[in-house]
Amino acid sequence: MDAAKLDVALAVAQDAARQAGALIARRFKEPRAQTTLKDKSVASIDLVTETDTECEGIIIKLLQAAYPDYELLGEESASEAGGYVLNDAPTWIIDPIDGTTNFVHRSPEVMVAIGLSVAKVPVLGVCFNPVNGDMFTAREGGGAFLNGERISVDGVPQQLNQAVIATNIGYGRDPKSVAHTTGTISNLLNANVRGLKMSGSAVHLGTNVACGRLSCYYECGPHPWDICATAVVVREAGGVAKDMTGGPLDLVSRKYIVASSDEIASRVIACVHEPYPM
């Protein structure tokens, strides 16, 4: 897809993110939202609210009107359908609220994420925080921006003892998942990392890598809507987005890392490379 077409698509995605974000911002100030569990099992903690569903509807309506021939993959519709398939066609990949738990508990790390993939490769990303107004944008070959200002990963520490690394604990509470999560954190602490961060939003932490606030973010278990948009922003800011095995990013592998450089990515992968218990 050429640069001019991507620029038009980027503007459409920004408009969709802002319109969905306006609803999130209003609801954020209201009494705590009614929530339900996506998985009805006793151990489930994965929340969904009416706002998630309504925002996805707003975004899909706008994107379909502008690009009726493109595929659409949204978190809430995929959850409702019980699964998803990502093919090579141009596909909008949508997370209406990344950080739903934060939204419910009125913590400001709440992001709208809209990405575009072509042949399963992310080529465009919009990541919008409707609480503080931060808008991250990027398209293939065009650089990455925060509120219209160019951003870069340059100058971020590359040694683990100087680096701030981020992850999220995910929703797995079975013994294998818990052991993996705590094991990788233990490995990083034993490697003497300067700091570890969690915010409950893959998009929030990934974009923090892109603007130089973090050295690296990794997570095992994310879906395409958690990573598509952010991967473009990080890549266009001069960082890397790849699979936890060290290979090219695979949107459906659910083993994901974004970093300020190949060097720091390799150092983190050496600490957290164990296969995730899917």
Confidence of residue 38 (pLDDT cuts 50, 70, 90): low
- Chain centre to alpha carbon of residue 156: 20
Q: How far is CA 127 from CA 87, 98, 267, in A?
A: 23, 10, 27
Tokens for 178?
A: 């818990």
Q: Is 15 a catalytic residue?
A: no
What mean pLDDT comes out for the span 80-108? 93
Task: Look at residue 44 and tell me whether its pLDDT is greater than 70.
Answer: no
Check residues 176 and 224 and name the one with the higher pLDDT: 224
pLDDT for residue 16: 98
Supply φ then ψ for residue 187, to 5 degrees: -60, -40
Provide Rg for the chain, Cα atoms.
17
The total of other beta-carbon atoms located within 10 Å of residue 259's CB is: 29
Check residues 79 and 84 and name the one with the higher pLDDT: 84
Architecture of domain 3-150: 2-Layer Sandwich (3.30)
Q: Is 97 a catalytic residue?
A: yes
Q: Tell me the pLDDT tens digit for each residue of 211-239.
A: 999 999 999 888 999 999 999 999 999 99
Handedness of CA 3, 88, 125, 56 (dihedral sign): positive
Which of these is catalytic: 52, 56, 75, 109? 75
Q: If you write DSSP's letter for every residue of 93-129 in order, what string do you get?
A: EEEEEETHHHHHTT-S--EEEEEEEETTEEEEEEEE-
pLDDT for residue 174: 84
**Look-up: residue for tokens 């949508």?**
94
Q: Start-end ranges of CATH 3.40.190.80 in the chain?
A: 160-272
pLDDT for residue 32: 65
pLDDT for residue 42: 37
pLDDT for residue 170: 76
What percentage of the chain has pLDDT greater than the value 90? 73
At residue 150, the 3 state secondary structure works out as strand
What mean pLDDT comes out for the span 50-54? 92
Q: Start-end ranges of CATH 3.30.540.10 in the chain?
A: 3-150
pLDDT for residue 278: 42
Judge contact between 201 and 110, C-beta under 8 A: yes
Task: Look at residue 47 and tell me whether its pLDDT is greater than 80.
Answer: no
Judge contact between 212 and 156, C-beta under 8 A: yes
Which of these is catalytic: 56, 76, 95, 236? 95
Task: Look at residue 71 and tell me whether its pLDDT is greater than 80.
Answer: yes
pLDDT for residue 169: 85
Check residues 277 and 89 and name the one with the higher pLDDT: 89
Which of these is catalytic: 100, 167, 181, 184? 100
Q: Is 95 a catalytic residue?
A: yes
In DSSP terms, which residues pair with 240 in a beta bridge? Answer: 259
Which of these is catalytic: 226, 227, 230, 257? 226
Q: Mean pLDDT in the chain?
A: 90
Supply φ then ψ for residue 223, to 5 degrees: -100, 170
Tokens for 134?
A: 């931060």
Check residues 216 and 170 and name the one with the higher pLDDT: 216
pLDDT for residue 274: 62
Judge contact between 209 and 258, C-beta under 8 A: yes
What percentage of the chain has pLDDT greater than the value 70? 92
Residue of 204, 20, 212, 234 lying closest to 110 (CA atoms): 204
Confidence of residue 35 (pLDDT cuts 50, 70, 90): low
Q: Is 149 a catalytic residue?
A: no
Supply φ then ψ for residue 255, to 5 degrees: -130, 110
- Chain centre to alpha carbon of residue 143: 18
* pTM summary value: 0.92
Q: Is 226 a catalytic residue?
A: yes
pLDDT for residue 97: 96
Q: Is 75 a catalytic residue?
A: yes
Longest CA–CA span in the chain (Å) reads 51
Check residues 24 and 181 and name the one with the higher pLDDT: 24
Task: Look at residue 41 and tell me whether its pLDDT is greater than 80.
Answer: no
Among 3.30.565.10, 2.40.160.40, 1.10.3720.10, 3.40.190.80, what is the CATH number of 160-272?
3.40.190.80
